[in-house]
Structure 1
Amino acid sequence: MPELPEVETVRRTLNELVGGKRIERVTVSLPRIIQRPAEPEAFEAALAGHTIQSVERRGKFLRILLDGLVLVSHLRMEGRYGVFRQDEPVELHTHVRFRFDDGTELRYKDVRQFGTMHLFAPGDDLTQAPLNKLGIEPLDDAFTLQAFKREVAHRTTKIKPLLLNQSYIVGLGNIYVDEALFTAGIHPEREASTLKAPEWARLYDAIRETLGRAVEAGGSSVKSYVNGQGEMGMFQHQLLVYGREEEPCTRCGDKIVKTIVGGRGTHTCPACQPLPGKRAKAKSGKAKAKPRVN
């Protein structure tokens, strides 16, 4: 699933490609993509004649701002946008087409068919589902260390599932949580309430730094992600732990391991991210071991 850096890259690309274009006609070929309004025909009719003013982002959602409407789009697992000439062949799994009056069209393709689109009046999108219960943006000025700790530091949930919860902090997914936790030297199974002040500071810095570098690299293309121009992201070449199980840690040389935490595949370096309880248990176990008799 595209995470914050990938969605931010798509946002920037679409701003360049479709900002200022007037929609002539919309064609929906897979009705379930359209969540609001209920009828895809109403969605098609409502957008005809409107001009795209800009494209913004809220968490992992795109907010396409038009003159008098807001289109909220979630790419889910494999949704992608691309701009084509109207006479170019339409690829398989293209489910929504926005035809512009300049001879081009924006096409939404989704092999897995999990993507969603909601149409709102301006302002209503931020007070209703799916955007109304989202947490703070990790790259906004409002995301301070104090705000971060206020949201999650007192909770007894394991830190990785907590960071993945979009109602607290938005945009973080499996890739960047693994990377940030490794950078901060924190095991993903640590309970949030057990972290000390220096660990919170390291994790805060790691989240900001990891996401910032990923945005600059255009995101990570670890599966099928490409931006609106069909270009791959390049941050996958900078990943430190994600997808590197059995490879040596770039810090200490130990092997990266993959486990399951909160139902998600999780990559850690056991040496750089020790889990205190297990480490203590291991030490006590060694201390109680009986001497070997030859």
Structure 2
Amino acid sequence: MPELPEVETTLRGIELKLVGRVLASVAIRQPKLRWPITPELSHDMVGEVITHLSRRGKYIGIHTQKGTLIVHLGMSGSLYFVAADTPPMFHDHVDFCFADDDVWLRYTDPRRFGAILWTTNDWLEHELIKHLGPEPLSEAFNVDQLYERAKGRKVPIKTFIMDSKVVVGVGNIYANEALFQAGIRPDRLAGSISKARLGRLVECIKVVLAAAIKQGGTTLKDFVGGDGKPGYFKQELAVYGRAGQPCVVCEAPLIEIRQAQRSTVFCRHCQS
């Protein structure tokens, strides 16, 4: 957390208020995130006009003519607007202040696993981004691509689809949900699944992520979107976080196992 729907929700929540704004200052209170914020950021962006925003995987690009601010929300980060001069709380690490507005963009991250990086090169060629797999909601992510990548792979299918080099943005919550909709056990080996079933999985990944974006993402603990509101997809979860509860289809108790130190919940009757 946050996963792709939460990142996309954040982008959509801040985009309209950011584009065209002139950055007046950057207040860095805590530079020690996953990678340290370089001191140059506080003056390299000052005076720059924000031209547009984009997303690649779980990375948000805030673009100016001079360069791109790359933001990753980590496990607990949020970007949202606050009224100017709103006193910062302990975990409010960075403020982006604008010359022509009475609101600031604030970055909050209790666990400090996120990142705020600045590049004057093509941001898609950044070391953290250039090796990412296709976007899950794009045509580049399809059954042919997934089937070729899965051939001979002896890793659980859930682990496989969470690999950002296979497809970006399918985090733990949405991997659980997509596999349930596709009727595939999360511990099935990726290379053992037929092309037809992988095609169904591709469709389910797209449906689940699109629905989550429409609902503003999933708030389990502390995620808020760019408008400061929580995500409401939690009410739609069929398996994630429901271990021991009845399956929404067959009413059998849902099973929980651990995969790569993450919770995996599935139905032993509906998924095979």
Q: If the length of structure 1 is used for normalisation, what is the TM-score?
A: 0.88
Match of 1:240 among 238, 241, 245: 238
Deviation of residue 34 (structure 1)?
Answer: 7.9
The one-letter code matched in structure 1 to 2:23 is I
* Structure 2 unaligned regions, length at least 5: none
Distance 1:197 1:165 in 2: 19
2:53 to 42, 55, 58: 55
Contact 1:79-1:108 within 8 A present in 2 as well: yes
- Following superposition, the deviation at residue 104 of structure 1 comes to 2.3
Match of 1:30? 30
Task: State the partner residue of 1:200.
Answer: 198
- 1:265 maps to what in 2? 263
**1:20: which partner in 2?**
20
Q: Equivalent residue of 1:175, what SS?
A: helix
Match of 1:189 among 187, 190, 196: 187
SS at match of 2:32: helix
Structure number with larger C-alpha Rg: 1
Ranked by relative contact order (alpha carbons within 8 Å, sequence separation 6 or more), the top structure is 2
Give CA-to-partner distance per residue, 1:201-240, whole Å, 9 cap, x none.
Answer: 2111111111111111111111211101111111110111
Kept in 2: contact 1:153–1:195 (CA 8 A): no
The amino acid that maps onto 2:109 is D
Counterpart Cα distance in 2 of 1:146 and 1:89: 52
Task: Map residues 214-233 of structure 1 onto 2, 5 A cutoff.
Answer: 214-233=212-231
Question: Match for 2:93: what amino acid?
Answer: H
The one-letter code matched in structure 2 to 1:81 is L
CA drift of 1:76 comes to 0.6
What SS does the aligned partner of 1:45 have? helix
Q: What displacement does 1:247 show? A: 0.9
Partners in 1 of 2:238 and 2:189 — Cα distance? Answer: 23
Question: Match for residue 105 of structure 1?
Answer: 104
- For 1:1-294, what aligned pairs fall within 5 Å after superposition? 1-33=1-33, 35=35, 40-102=38-100, 103-123=102-122, 125-274=123-272
Does the 8 Å contact 1:54/1:65 carry over to 2? Answer: yes
Corresponding residue for 1:292? Answer: none
Aligned length: 271
Q: CA deviation at 1:4?
A: 0.8
Overall identity of the aligned pairs, in % = 34
Asked whether the 8 Å contact 1:34–1:118 carries over to 2, the reply is: no
CA contact (8 A) 2:37 2:116 kept: no
Given the two structures, how large is their TM-score scaled by the length of structure 2? 0.95
Counterpart position of 1:286? none
Write the distance in 1 (CA, Å) between the matches of 2:215 and 2:240.
Answer: 16
Deviation track 1:226-284 (CA, whole Å, cap 9, x = no partner) reads 1011111111101110001111101111011111122211000011113xxxxxxxxxx
Shift of residue 83 of structure 1?
1.2
Question: 1:154 & 1:205 partners in 2: Cα distance?
Answer: 22
Contact residue 34 and residue 40 of structure 1 kept, 8 A: no
After the TM superposition, which segments of 4 or more aligned residues of structure 1 sit over 4 Å from their partners? none
Tell me the SS of whatever aligns to 2:26: strand
CA distance in 1, matches of 2:115, 2:219: 21
- Structure-2 separation of matches of 1:237 and 1:178: 15
In the alignment, the residues of structure 2 paired with residue 27 and residue 126 of structure 1 have an alpha-carbon distance, to the nearest angstrom, of 26
* DSSP 3-state at the match of 2:104: strand
Distance change in 2, residues 1:268/1:117 (3 Å): same
Instruction: Classify the secondary structure of the residue corresponding to 2:198.
Output: helix
Cα offset, 1:70, TM superposition: 0.6
Question: 1: CA distance between counterparts of 2:196 and 2:34?
Answer: 45
Tell me if structure 2 keeps the 8 A contact 1:137–1:143: yes
- Matched residues in 2 for 1:193 and 1:34: separation? 34
Task: Deviation per CA, 1:67-98: give whole Å up to 9, x if none.
Answer: 22111111011111121222222222111111
Unaligned 5+ runs, structure 1: 275-294
Give the Cα–Cα distance (whole angstroms) in 1 for the partners of residues 81 and 211 of structure 2: 26
